Amino acid sequence: MLPFSSLHLQPPKPPLFAPSPDPLCLPPSKSLIFSPRIKPMTTTTLSLRLQSSCPSSTTKANPKTQTQNPSSYDLKIALIGFGNYGQFLAKTLISQGHTVLAHSRSDHSLAAKSLGVSFFLDPHDLCERHPDVILLCTSIISTEEVLKSFPLQRLKRNTLFVDVLSVKEFAKNLLLDVLPNDFDIICSHPMFGPQSAKHGWDGLYFVYENVRIGNEENRASRCKTFLEIFEREGCKMVEMSCQEHDKYAAESQFLTHTVGRVLEMLKLESTPINTKGYESLLDLVENTSGDSFDLYYGLFMYNRNVLEMLDRLDLAFEDLRKQLFGRLHEVVRKQLFGNAESRKVLHENYNKGHLNGAAALSSRSESVRFQGSARTYEYEAGNSSCSDDSSKLKIAIVGFGNFGQFLAKTFVQQGHTVLAYSRANYSDVAQKLGVSYFSNADDLCEQHPEVIVLCTSILSTEKIIKSLPFQRLKRSTLFVDVLSVKEFPRNLFLQHLPPHFDILCTHPMFGPESGKNGWNQLAFVFDKVRIGSEGSRVSRCNKFLDIFAREGCRMVEMSCAEHDWHAAGSQFITHTMGRVLEKLGLESTPINTKGYETLLNLVENTAGDSFDLYYGLFMYNVNAMEQLERLDLAFESLKDQLFGRLHGVLRKQLFGSSENPQELSEEPSVAKFSQNSAALVSSSSETLNAENN
């Protein structure tokens, strides 16, 4: 696949990109390393920086320790653009005692009155009030038009202009190009908005560059007073050049919005078995969905670093797909060209539904999936009393890696007898945990454990089950699995276990990382696939479930088919996004947004899991392929929206104003995605119905 940069030439530069004291078209350099320094901002240091492009520095002010001159905090600030963001800033400006004026193309006089802001429909009237500061709160796309139509001649000649756009090189060059030389300029970006800062601005980033500030003391003081508005609210003040900002923002802000918009197209919904990672993705969608497409398009159009980021994201997703399908191809080749027994296994796998592409849901699971009626309830601790020895179980853990050890700690703490067997030697670890370790499966089974808990990997489970000496176990032994897919182990158990063994399919929706601080309110999903009717067998099953209920788990009973349907949309999508982002080599920046922090945490949480686990989620969940295709369609649709809009802008430049790029709505692409997605689901449903029939 050719990179976007080779397919899409940079558009002709509009007039605002004309040569300026700090030209926009500097070649990007990946070798630049920016190290923000923590340094308090003072009047002295501010005046020394007035005419220079300053090295980035960071400070978080403590309003209580500052000596403040009350008169210096009385600014007359005019907001140009009084939509949601302008009103959001106005509340704080008013609360700090500043005089606030506002102008907007739409009539927001009622909103302004309720906030204590003087609203002007005519910009001439506003400018004749001679505000100290003009604060541009317009959209990225409309800023040039608004600024060029503004009656600058009616303002004082040393007025301070400040923008709050999400792209900075564009804003800086535009202000230098349009404003007279005697106007002061600060380019700023509050890295927050009404949604992310609804509980206050404390600890949130405010990025700024003093582009041009006059030498006079009153102008330096005015600049300092304006910046202190954000310091007093607890913002982390980060001074860096506009070029530095756009380099970091292409990764932190544009990437966050891109992932949020792709996931929004999937119409993700909360499920009964949400993981912490999936909850964070839902929060990301909620935080980015409130922003207009114009804002997102502005980030794409006016930050020269984002095309490379979009290209890298596309390549990362394509590389992950190649890994998955390459692994699948190896498995099929081995089965097709191996010995006769391998070909027989392949034929059986296709018939019995072990492979993702040929797995067929049972009539029961089919009806559950498409009716969407997940049968869940809260399992309450105390169904079996755990206060006496009769309530204790003898539990054998087969597969004593990280997850097996993780479960063993709690089993032992609750007083159960725990045995363990694994192909690798974990005897030392077992001894420390109070677990009896066996290197031979026959020896373990001869101990007659009441419960066998399979903590093997998805890929090795079938081999392990076939190798266990069932004849050495009691005939009513309870088998439990904890795999991340459920229909696959359910079918394995029903196929290979003798009919007098009990079966409980479970999935603790947490692990050593997400459950390190306890299991309270974490989901534990289970399906009583086959439990004997005798009271002792029912009681044993309840005792095992009670282990998790006593730890505070949210107990959710649902069929294996329901689980896999929900997990494909939550767990598989979460791991897919985490692995795609991991390939980008994301790093923390000096201007992280809350959304970007979410992505970094997601990468950290999923990077600890092996590729075998991820491949197992793909290979052994019948719904995973559909979700992967929907994710691919959503990403392609979003690119169509961006490049379609860009194409419209170029057409207007080439053919004049007869074609309006604003008419190139994103709706056709969204409709196309919806149709393709619906067709995919329909096709999948028809295939499954045909297989069932």
Lowest model confidence (mean pLDDT) among 321-330, 368-377, 436-445, 677-686: 368-377
What are the residue ranges of helices labelled H in 77-178? Answer: 84-95, 109-115, 123-127, 143-148, 169-178
The residue behind tokens 């999923």 is 606
Mean of pLDDT over the chain:
80
pLDDT tens digit string along 345-399?
434 443 444 334 333 333 333 333 333 444 444 444 444 444 456 779 999 999 9
pLDDT of residue 240: 96
Lowest model confidence (mean pLDDT) among 222-226, 629-633, 667-671: 667-671
CA distance 259 to 82: 29
CA distance 612 to 457: 8
Contact indicator for 91, 114 with CB cutoff of 8 Å: no
CA distance 63 to 46: 18
CA distance 615 to 621: 10
Token pair of 395, please?
């539990």
Burial of 432 (0-12, 13-18, 19+ CB in 10 A): exposed
How does residue 335 score in pLDDT terms, banded at 50, 70 and 90? low
- Above pLDDT 90, what percent of the chain? 52
pLDDT of residue 613: 84
Q: The pTM is what? A: 0.66
3-state DSSP assignment of residue 629: helix
DSSP letter for 378, please.
Answer: B
Q: Residue 184's beta-bridge partner residues? A: 160
φ, ψ for residue 260 (rounded to 5)? -60, -40
Token pair of 102, please?
């506002």
Nearest to 609 by CA among 584, 588, 651, 579: 579
pLDDT tens digit string along 271-300?
888 888 888 899 889 888 878 888 888 889
Burial of 282 (0-12, 13-18, 19+ CB in 10 A): middle
Q: Mean of the pLDDT values across residues 668-691?
A: 46
CA distance 166 to 191: 8
Contact indicator for 331, 459 with CB cutoff of 8 Å: no
Token pair of 648, please?
């419209």
pLDDT of residue 101: 98
